[in-house]
Amino acid sequence: MAATITASAVRTCFGDGPATWDALLRGDCGAAPMRRVDPRRVGVSHGYPIADDRPFGPGRWLADCVTEALAAAGVDPLRRRVVSLVGTGLRESAEVERAALAGRVDFPAERLHFGPAVTGAAPGVDRVVTLANACSAGGHALALAQDLVETGEADAVLVGGTDGSTASMLAMIGRVAARPTERIRPFDADRTGVLLGDGAVVLVVEADRPGAGLARLLGTGLSCDAGHETAPDRDGILRAVHDAHRRAGRRPEQVDLVLAHGTGTALNDETEARVLAEVFAGCAPGPLVTALKGAVGHTSGGSALLSVAVAIEALRTGQVPPVVGLSRLASEAAGLRLVRDRAVAAAPRVAQVDAFGFGGLNAVTLLEAS
């Protein structure tokens, strides 16, 4: 039995959900010079920041999305059993860094796990559980949400994902990159590395309601291969893809669209491209493939859910946004039907969302148009 995604709320460098979708269809790039962190300290000059006049904070973006998603779904946590699952990679580490610089050591531990952010925006939520599963955290949260509603443990689940740029994570990126990059170029032969993007996403998952909601959540395949700290493992990714197809009851030839992880790094792009070519071999003409990080950056714990939110819009509207930053195709991606240069009109029914995290934490989700 499938579950239904009944609402979606998004915050990225472009703004809210509609603003982000419009920017993606135009092929805009949200990369901008670093402002909150001194580039000389971290070795990174650019990112994909959320720019507004309020204080920085993933918890605040998450709370805004919780309020918007609950209103859109018509779900009242005071009247129904609502659980919240939040996927993240960095949690509120940026706030901890600021507190430390200000000489404060009393940062409340519960704020790290976004409990106050969620319950402040949604009084009556039964409990808030945080999953710090790196870049696939949102996908893992979505898998658990489907279990909760299908087993009757919750009437609805707020599935969130959020992260913001931290000095510590930026410094790591600055040390591992061969040279500074100004933008992400997924599947491009001239890619120069990954950059972080600010963002938050909240989806509302409820029990299956045919004909209602934004999309049916068919299933999420998971794997944890632990093969390397950062390098993706082909076999582990394949296990997650096959697990997703099995859980969803779909064959590769039934997948019309893939939202790739597409980090613009040599190890990820090459491995993911080869896996997709293997999975969809013989599926003429094969699914359309797009990726978001060239437009919005790597939103870490929110990246899987952001791809799900965009996949939902593609299923609903028949429009597929292009891969931003793709100019000269990498050889390993030559066999993929990558959407390039401009959005294309299509009629996808089933979409696959890839999310691969450090340590081999993989989550692959299948959605179907409602």
Residues that are catalytic: 135, 261, 298
- Give the whole-angstrom CA distance, residue 58 versus residue 68: 15
The candidate with the shortest Cα–Cα distance to 237, out of 343, 364, 90, is 364
Helical (H) or strand (E) element with 99: helix 93-101
- Give the whole-angstrom CA distance, residue 235 versus residue 356: 12
The candidate with the shortest Cα–Cα distance to 305, out of 118, 113, 140, is 140
| Whether the Cβ atoms of residue 304 and residue 136 lie closer than 8 Å to each other | yes
- Give the whole-angstrom CA distance, residue 60 versus residue 68: 13
Q: Decide: helix, strand or coil at residue 203.
A: strand
What's the count of helices (H) and strands (E) in the chain, helices before strands? Answer: 11, 16
